[in-house]
């Protein structure tokens, strides 16, 4: 385990790259929330599509979000802000796990 004093200050290129990753992830979160909480629950039933399609799309988006969290942890590991991101990631993984469990119950436990 590296101490804070052993962590090298990221280069400007690494900082720009990590900002791009984080900005991209935040844009993904905004799109994901808009889809899951606004479009899917209200628009698909209006179009005559079933609720199970909405739950399937939501579960796929949640799995993608978990993958992006892991990807960002690997990319931010050698930076000074990794612990803050890991703390945020633990909270988000817990929330996404609850959503995925609810999707699992919807599909497989009836």
Structural domain for 49, as ranges: 13-108
Q: CA-CA distances (angstroms) from residue 51 to 26, 58, 64, 105, 106?
A: 27, 11, 20, 14, 10
Q: What are the structure tokens assigned to 73, written together?
A: 């942890």
Section 42-51 average pLDDT = 77
- pLDDT of residue 96 exceeding 60, the answer is yes
Q: Specify the pTM.
A: 0.71
Q: What are the structure tokens assigned to 13, written together?
A: 């290129």
> Structurally, how many domains does the chain consist of?
1
Q: Which pLDDT value is given to residue 8? A: 60
Confidence band of 107 (pLDDT split at 50, 70, 90)? confident
Q: What are the structure tokens assigned to 84, written together?
A: 């803050």
Note whether residue 68 is domain-resident. Answer: yes
What is the tens place of the pLDDT at every residue in 47-92? 877 777 888 888 898 898 899 888 888 877 777 777 888 888 899 8
Note whether residue 6 is domain-resident. Answer: no
Note whether residue 43 is domain-resident. Answer: yes
């Amino acid at each position: 385990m590296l101490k804070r004093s052993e962590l090298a200050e990221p280069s400007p290129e690494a900082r720009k790259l990590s900002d791009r990753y984080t900005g991209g992830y935040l844009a993904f979160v905004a799109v994901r929330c808009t889809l899951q909480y606004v479009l899917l629950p209200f628009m698909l039933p209006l179009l005559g599509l079933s609720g199970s399609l909405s739950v399937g799309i939501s579960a796929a988006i949640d799995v993608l979000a978990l993958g992006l969290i892991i990807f960002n942890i690997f990319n931010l590991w050698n930076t000074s802000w990794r612990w803050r991101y890991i703390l945020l990631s633990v909270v988000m993984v817990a929330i996404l796990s609850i959503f995925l469990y609810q999707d699992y119950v919807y599909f497989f436990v009836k």
